[in-house]
Structure 1
Amino acid sequence: MSVEGPDLESLVRRLAGTPPEFTDEPRIGGSGRVAVAAVVNDLLYLHGARAPHAALAPFEGGSVRADRNRLALVLIIAWLLADDGLRALDPGQPALLDALAGVARELAAVPAHRYVDDAERREELARTVVARLGCHPYGETPEQAGDRLAAVSAAERRRLLDASRAAERRAREIREALVRKAAEESADKWTRE
C-alpha cells in the first residue's frame, strides 16, 4: 500500500449511487440480464487494457447458480473500478482482473446488494479494492489504511473468529489430555502401592 490512491469518501459515495444496471441479475446459463464478462471487458477497455477471451472465462458464470453472488459482486466492483480516481492509477490488466476476481471471491460470503445498501460494507469494499490495487486512500498512511480495513472487514472478522475457535478447540484438547494423563498417573500410583 505504498501509493496514495483516491479519496475514500468519493468511492463510498460512488458505491452508494450504483446504477441499477450494475445491480441487475448476472447472466448465468440461460437466465439473468447482464453479461458480466462483457462488462469486465468494457472496464478493461476503459482502463486502456485488453484481455484474451480465456481471461474473461471466470466472469461468464456457465450454469452454476451458486456463482450468482460472486458475479453480482463483480458487477459492483466493475462500477467502482470505473471511477476516475482509480482509472488515474492505471493499474493495468492483471491488477484489474485480480481486483475483480480476487475481491469478489474474498467477499462473496456477504450478499452483493449489501455492498451497495450498507454503509460499513461499502467502506469495506472500497478499502479492499484500493488495497488490492496496492494503494491506500488519500489522506491516510498505509498503516492507518491497513488498520481501518481490518476494523471494517467482515472477512477479517471471520478469519479472527475461526482462529479463535481453533485456539479454543486446541486448548480444550490440551485440557482433556492433561486430565487423562493425571487419571492415568493416579491409577499407576494405586497399582504400585
Structure 2
Amino acid sequence: MQKEGPPLQQLLHRITATPPDFMAEPRIGNKGEVHTVAVVRDLLASKGHAVDIASLSALAGRDVKADRNRLSITLLITWLLADPALTIERERLADILTLLKDDATRLAGYTNARQLFEDLERREELARLTLSKLGLRPAGETVAQAQDRFTSISSLERARLLAASQEAEARARAIREQLAKKAAEESANKWTRE
C-alpha cells in the first residue's frame, strides 16, 4: 500500500457498472456461459503478462455447487482489475493470481458475488483488497488510513479475528480445566494425608 492508486470512488463506481457478461454464469463443465480461465488470461494479456493456461487451471470449476460463487467473484475481480487506472506490475503478478484464486475462495466462504456487487461495504472491501494486492492505497489516504479502513471492513479479517478469539477461548478453557483438575487432585491428596 505504499503507492497511491486511483480514487476509491472510481473503483466503487466500476464495480457497480459491471457489465452483464461479467455477472453471467461461470462455465463449469458443460454448464454456464463465461469461461473464467479465458477471461483472466485475456485480462493478464491486456496488462502485458503472458500466462500459460496450466498456471490458471485452478480457476476452472469442477463442481457447480462448490465453485459457482468463487468463480463469480473471480470474474468480478477481473472486471475491477481491467480498470485502465490499474496496472499489474511483474512483481505483483503472483499477488494477483493469489487474489483471483485463494482470496476469491476465502471471500466465497463469507459472502457472494451479488453482495460484493450490491452492498456498499462489500464493494469497498473488494476494491480495497484489490488495491492492496497491487501494492496501492486509495488516492488521498495515508498508508495508516488505508490499512485501518481495510481492516475494519474486511470480512476475511473479521473471520480471522473470530477464529483467533475462538482458539484463545478454547486454550483458556483447557487451562481452566487443567487448573481445576490439579486443584481437585491436590485437595484429594490433602484429605488422604490427613
Structure-1-length-normalised TM-score:
0.93
Q: Distance in 1 between matches of 2:82 and 2:115?
A: 20
Q: Deviations over 1:110-160 (max 9, x none)?
A: 111111011100000000010011111111111111111100000111111
Are 1:99 and 1:133, in contact at CA under 8 Å, matched by a contact in 2?
no
1:42 and 2:51 are equivalent in the alignment: no
Shift of 1:97: 2.5
Tell me the equivalent position of 1:80. 80
Q: Which residue of 1 aligns with 2:145?
A: 144
Aligned partners of 1:63, 1:191: CA distance in 2, in Å?
64
Determine the C-alpha separation between the residues in 2 that align with 1:163 and 1:84: 38
Alignment correspondent of 1:9: 9
> For residues 191 and 95 of structure 1, what CA distance do their matches in structure 2 show?
64
Deviation per CA, 1:3-58: give whole Å up to 9, x if none.
11111111011111211111111000010111111111211122122111212212
Tell me, in whole angstroms, the C-alpha distance in 1 between the residues paired with 2:193 and 2:155. Answer: 57
* 2:170 matched residue in structure 1: 169
Matches within 5 A, 1:57-72: 57-63=57-63, 65-72=65-72
Cα distance in 1 for partners of 2:106, 2:133 equals 11
Question: Among 83, 89, 92, which residue is 1:91 paired with?
Answer: 89
Q: List alignment gaps of at least 5 residues for structure 1.
A: none
**Once structures 1 and 2 are overlaid, which stretch shifts more, 59-68 or 176-185?**
59-68
User: Which residue number in structure 1 is paired with residue 28 of structure 2?
Assistant: 28
Is the 2:41–2:53 Cα contact (8 Å) retained in structure 1?
no
Deviations 1:57-84 (A, max 9, x none): 1222234541111111110001000111
Identity %: 51
Cα RMSD between the aligned structures?
1.5
Any stretches of 5+ residues in structure 2 without a counterpart?
Answer: none
